[in-house]
Chain A
Amino acid sequence: MIRSSAILAVLLLGALPGSAAPALALNPYESRSDAVTRSEIDNLVLARLEKLHIEPASLCSDGVFVRRAYLDVIGTLPSAQEAKDFILDRSPGKRRALVDKLLERDEFPDYWAMKWSDLLRVKAEFPVNLWPNAAQAYHRWIRTAIRENRPYDQFVRELLTTSGSNFRVGAVNFYRAMQNKDPQTIAQTVALTFMGARAEKWPKEKLAGMSAFFSKVGYKCTSEWKEEIIFFDAGKTNAPDTNCVVPATAVFPDGTTARITADRDPREVFADWLIDPKNPWFTRNIANRTWSWLLGRGIIHEADDIRPDNPPANPELLAYLERELIASHYDLKKLYRLILNSRTYQLSAVPRTDSPEAEANFAHYLLRRLEAEVLIDALDEITGTTEQYSSAIPEPFTYIPGSHRSITLPDGSITSSFLELFGRPSRDTGLESERNNRPSADQRLHLLNSSHIQRKIDQCRMVQYLTQGKKTPREIATGMYLGILSRFPTETELQNVEAYFEAGKMKPREAAVDLAWALVNGAEFLYRH
């Protein structure tokens, strides 16, 4: 470890001749520790930063790490106790141990099923008539696959090749969760989801050639209301009334012509081509997406717009991740582990440069507002309150019991006004950009002053607990900082809180409510950092 930091220092000094290394700022976000070993990821990132003369940020503090890891891995805020235990833990390998623990938590499949349900468009109605039963089956299939850590290539193959009932075989809903079910739309959706490519920008012939693989997808009704069977319809021909004319010969996007016998489901031929480790798109897409989910930005940006004229910011890094993923037989948890244990992932969000290229080259952790679901779940957790979620789509109307967290909602049609206001994706297109985490004034109004949030804070369990007995403002503040911001307060913060409790001649409870209000309204709570 000493060796690696020495190398880092040498690198930095070499990279920045003439500029003295600035002293580390005294803030609760950075750490002077070098307790994280440099990995191959870090070598590749640092090599690039060195070339660009960009100084990387410091390692993040333990308080930042525990919060970041919980939010990024399981979409859940650590409890005050969990945060405190981690910060006070003196064992050297505690960050690695935490990553291992989080990857096994029940919230892991909840949170990542939510993410995949965005991309796979799991939503009962409008503009896609998936229907509530089918949305539930689809979500259940996704969550189970993630819980079992099914190899990613198998996950994709099943989505692409399964046949059966929309209510009983969840994966077949992949072919139903689209606005049009013509071969071309299917091909575009497959390209976007599993190749990270916008096929609508391809030459027409290329898209047409790929469409042919999806020209035999059959849909038929059963006697059960809204049930639909997806199957290999060998005799299917281009319907005379559709505009979408599909060529008879299927051509892979790499230009190779496929040979498909009449009795072979062309979806399978395509899937086998797609998930081959030699496929140039398949591994690259998922490696880059996984990186972007954890680091806040793809090595190719945007993560679902991979094309020759949008090159990766760090090709060596992306190639390395691809190699590792193939070597692990598409074990996504291994890839998560690899990234989460890197120093690069664990850098502070406080940049040590004003270079405009810092962000694209991962010189610091990227600030991101919490997703709508994660934000409301965190508020519920802190305050001990619940939310109501419902779906207006009938048969049956769906009401979700109050104890459910929003990251577990199976169906995009089940929602609340808070989720809508804070930019939950509509699950129409499967584009990553559908999720809108940008701030708006009405969101600020809602958090600062709405009766919805006021009520939660007034009933806040943490406030009630901390204002029992004769706790000092310092004790109250410490408890609240751990519970809301997952760290201990600084001395300055403690003094400010004390001054607030004393100045207004307020009742301790009122002042504690105001403190909780101020902490949940601060950027440190609202953003991943």
Chain B
Amino acid sequence: MSMIHNADNRSFKPWSDKQVTRMAATAISRREAVQRTLLGAAGLVLGHHVNLRALAATPSPKARAKSVIQIWMWGGPSHLDTWDPKPEAGSDYCGPLDKPIATNVDGVRISELMPLLAKQADKYSIIRSMTHGVNGHETAAYMVQTARAQGGRDVFPSVGAVVSLFKGYQAGYKGLVPPYIVLTEPQGRFSEAGFMGARYKPFATGGDPRQTPFAVEGIVAQGITEQRQRGRRDLLHKLNTLEQALPNDPQLAASDQCEKQAYDLMLGDGGKVFDLAQEKDEVRERYGRTTFGQSCLVARRLVERGVPYITINYKGGWDTHKQNFQVMRQRLPEMDKAMSSLLQDLSEHGLLDNTIVWWSGEFGRTPKVLWEAPWNGGRGHHGQVFSAVVAGGGFKGGHVVGTSDAKGQEVKERPVYPCDLVGSMYELLGIDPEAKLPHPQGLTIRAVPSATDGVTMGGKLKEIV
């Protein structure tokens, strides 16, 4: 969990200076704030709704994206059963799912279990030639989510840690909600922050957005009424004898500031972003009353508040070694409903233009179905080729990038490596490719991976940017 102000000013200068400024900013009264105007070279305007992002970043002309919603398909769903159907390969490959459906984009067809997404195909592009060749969950998940080669001395930060660093408080994000959120459980078995350290880790909400209330860890406590929370806070303040004896201590003032932020999330407006009761029932229904569906709705609400990076860790049982098709029939409709509603909703709210939606697992699945026991129609891990989907934030919709071969075994045209996709996202987010990541030993590591970092590249996604 890395959040709001780690009132730390040692390890990474630009970040902490902003934090310190922010702390000073929040410490003064609104009236004072309005009275002040420009403060120093940073050009911070206090008490006004000025977009600091515009001041702090030097975005490239292509940079439109402000937020990313990563739909993380943990387990690795089958590409053949989702975005790259192969009915012509025969039932040993496509199983019973042999009737792909047309989408609202000419010539693009997807799984028959995703009819709602078929109607939104103009909003997203499908990459059918993702590849890294790795078939182990951990390593593949690491490669897809860090865009770096595995091995070597450094453990790299995930895309979420990098984006929340460059698009978070440093870039003028002012929300109380942390800049990197995971719904609901941490990805685990993979260090999100890598060498950047624990404070760049995501804030994992815990709880279940399907339930009321959505018990976000630390923000919404179960079994403690708001009245009791307030009573407790009063008691805490009455008994805080040491603070009364040390009224001018800067450390305690910083700690108080953190406490205020915490309470804004717990009892104030900050945490209301997680309160789905504020949404109309019909909206909640449209997304589906599933954990994934309601997570998508929370993600839309977070994007509305400017949160730069949200991962929906979709533990849908996609690791279908056994009974793949039963799982697909059960799970894909839920995904279809939620993801299509998310795209439509983002679009209707005018948010899709500056929000990237990125759907991917760590790999695809073996195209040839394992019919024999104990698999009974299962599919194994397949990193040679798999599909990913991107939408919004400057990515064109309605395109297909690359192809797999007739049976979905190998890349046929235009291999796309994780770093190509991630590099394209960074470009759209306006992350300076020359920007350095904070490294504990001060090594020079650029935000955007390049061939010199030992990663294999197929080239940025110029086709759809």
Q: Which residues of A contact B (CB under 8 A)?
A: 25, 27-29, 126-127, 179, 349-351, 354, 367, 369, 392, 417, 420-421, 423, 426, 428-429, 433-434, 436, 438-446, 448-451, 454, 490, 492-493, 496-497, 500, 504, 514-515, 517-519, 521-524, 526-527, 529
Contact A441 B3 (CB under 8 A): yes
Contact B246 A444 (CB under 8 A): no
Q: Is B465 an interface residue (CB 8 A)?
A: no
- Picked from B4, B176, B223, B236, the residue with its CB within 8 Å of the CB of A440 is B4
A135 to B33 Cα, complex, angstroms: 53
Contact A421 B242 (CB under 8 A): no
Which of B214-222, B390-398, B429-437 lies on the face that meets chain A?
Answer: B214-222
Identity of the chain A residue whose Cβ is nearest the Cβ of B193 in the assembled complex: A420
Known: A429-B441, A442-B1. A527 touches B242 (CB 8 A): yes
A420 to B261 Cα, complex, angstroms: 20
**B151 CB to nearest chain A CB (Å):** 12
**B249 CB to nearest chain A CB (Å):** 6
A429 to B442 Cα, complex, angstroms: 11
Chain A residues whose C-beta falls within 8 Å of the C-beta of B176 in the assembled complex: 441
Chain A residues whose C-beta falls within 8 Å of the C-beta of B258 in the assembled complex: 439-441, 443-444
Contact B262 A436 (CB under 8 A): no
Within 8 A of A (CB), among B230-263: 231-232, 235-236, 238-246, 248-249, 251-252, 254-255, 258-259, 261-263
Q: Is B48 an interface residue (CB 8 A)?
A: no
Chain B residues whose C-beta falls within 8 Å of the C-beta of A490 in the assembled complex: 241
Q: Considering only CB atoms and an 8 Å cut-off, how many residues of chain B contact the other chain?
A: 61
25 contacts between A and B (CB under 8 A): A25-B245, A350-B245, A367-B246, A367-B251, A423-B198, A428-B440, A439-B254, A440-B5, A441-B4, A441-B262, A442-B2, A444-B258, A444-B259, A445-B218, A445-B265, A445-B266, A449-B221, A449-B224, A451-B221, A451-B222, A493-B239, A493-B241, A515-B235, A522-B241, A522-B243
Q: Is B154 an interface residue (CB 8 A)?
A: yes
- Picked from A179, A367, A426, A523, the residue with its CB within 8 Å of the CB of B153 is A179
Question: Which of A392, A441, A448, A521 is packed against the most chain B CB atoms within 10 Å?
Answer: A441
A518 to B178 Cα, complex, angstroms: 25
Chain A residues whose C-beta falls within 8 Å of the C-beta of B241 in the assembled complex: 27-28, 490, 492-493, 522, 524
Known: A440-B3, A442-B1. A518 touches B259 (CB 8 A): no
- Picked from B3, B189, B228, B441, the residue with its CB within 8 Å of the CB of A442 is B3
Contact A442 B154 (CB under 8 A): no
Chain B residues whose C-beta falls within 8 Å of the C-beta of A351 in the assembled complex: 246
- Picked from B199, B239, B252, the residue with its CB within 8 Å of the CB of A518 is B239
Chain A residues whose C-beta falls within 8 Å of the C-beta of B263 in the assembled complex: 448
Identity of the chain A residue whose Cβ is nearest the Cβ of B228 in the assembled complex: A514
Q: Which residues of B contact A (CB under 8 A)?
A: 1-8, 10-11, 153-155, 176, 178, 189, 195, 197-199, 201, 203, 206, 215, 217-219, 221-224, 228-229, 231-232, 235-236, 238-246, 248-249, 251-252, 254-255, 258-259, 261-263, 265-266, 440-441
Known: A493-B239, A523-B243. A518 touches B232 (CB 8 A): yes
Contact A450 B242 (CB under 8 A): no
Identity of the chain B residue whose Cβ is nearest the Cβ of A458 in the assembled complex: B223
Contact B235 A514 (CB under 8 A): yes
Chain A residues whose C-beta falls within 8 Å of the C-beta of B248 in the assembled complex: 354
**A245 CB to nearest chain B CB (Å):** 21
Known: A450-B218, A496-B235, A521-B236. A438 touches B189 (CB 8 A): no
A493 to B236 Cα, complex, angstroms: 11
A127 to B194 Cα, complex, angstroms: 10
Chain A residues whose C-beta falls within 8 Å of the C-beta of B206 in the assembled complex: 451
Chain A residues whose C-beta falls within 8 Å of the C-beta of B222 in the assembled complex: 451
A501 to B422 Cα, complex, angstroms: 57
Identity of the chain A residue whose Cβ is nearest the Cβ of B189 in the assembled complex: A392
A496 to B240 Cα, complex, angstroms: 11
Of all A-B residue pairs in the complex, the 9 with the closest CB atoms, nearest first, are: A445-B218, A442-B3, A444-B262, A524-B242, A441-B261, A420-B198, A441-B4, A440-B6, A439-B255
A350 to B247 Cα, complex, angstroms: 10
Contact A29 B242 (CB under 8 A): yes
Contact A438 B254 (CB under 8 A): yes
Contact A421 B232 (CB under 8 A): no
Contact A420 B154 (CB under 8 A): no
**A481 CB to nearest chain B CB (Å):** 9
**A9 CB to nearest chain B CB (Å):** 23
Q: Supply 12 further A-B pairs (C-beta < 8 A) apart from A448-B262, A518-B236.
A: A350-B246, A351-B246, A369-B251, A438-B6, A438-B7, A440-B3, A441-B262, A497-B239, A500-B231, A522-B236, A523-B242, A523-B252
Contact A450 B153 (CB under 8 A): no
A496 to B5 Cα, complex, angstroms: 32
Contact B4 A442 (CB under 8 A): yes
Identity of the chain A residue whose Cβ is nearest the Cβ of B250 in the assembled complex: A367
**A125 CB to nearest chain B CB (Å):** 10
Identity of the chain B residue whose Cβ is nearest the Cβ of A200 in the assembled complex: B442
Chain B residues whose C-beta falls within 8 Å of the C-beta of A529 in the assembled complex: 242
Contact A500 B235 (CB under 8 A): yes
A434 to B223 Cα, complex, angstroms: 38
Chain B residues whose C-beta falls within 8 Å of the C-beta of A392 in the assembled complex: 189
Chain B residues whose C-beta falls within 8 Å of the C-beta of A354 in the assembled complex: 248
Contact A518 B3 (CB under 8 A): no
Chain A residues whose C-beta falls within 8 Å of the C-beta of B262 in the assembled complex: 441, 444-445, 448-449
A428 to B4 Cα, complex, angstroms: 25
Chain A residues whose C-beta falls within 8 Å of the C-beta of B236 in the assembled complex: 517-518, 521-522
**A264 CB to nearest chain B CB (Å):** 33
A450 to B222 Cα, complex, angstroms: 9
Contact A449 B219 (CB under 8 A): yes
**B210 CB to nearest chain A CB (Å):** 18
A490 to B245 Cα, complex, angstroms: 13
- Picked from B1, B217, B259, B441, the residue with its CB within 8 Å of the CB of A428 is B441
A28 to B5 Cα, complex, angstroms: 32
**A366 CB to nearest chain B CB (Å):** 9
**A87 CB to nearest chain B CB (Å):** 16
Contact A504 B243 (CB under 8 A): no
- Picked from A369, A426, A504, the residue with its CB within 8 Å of the CB of B231 is A504
Contact B266 A448 (CB under 8 A): yes
Known: A428-B441, A515-B235. A444 touches B8 (CB 8 A): no
Identity of the chain B residue whose Cβ is nearest the Cβ of A529 in the assembled complex: B242
Contact B249 A367 (CB under 8 A): yes
Chain A residues whose C-beta falls within 8 Å of the C-beta of B2 in the assembled complex: 442
Identity of the chain A residue whose Cβ is nearest the Cβ of B222 in the assembled complex: A451
Known: A444-B261, A445-B218. A439 touches B7 (CB 8 A): yes
Known: A25-B245, A420-B198. A440 touches B7 (CB 8 A): yes
Contact A127 B235 (CB under 8 A): no
Question: Which of B3, B6, B231, B245 is packed against the most chain A CB atoms within 10 Å?
Answer: B245
Known: A179-B441, A439-B7, A445-B262. A518 touches B235 (CB 8 A): yes
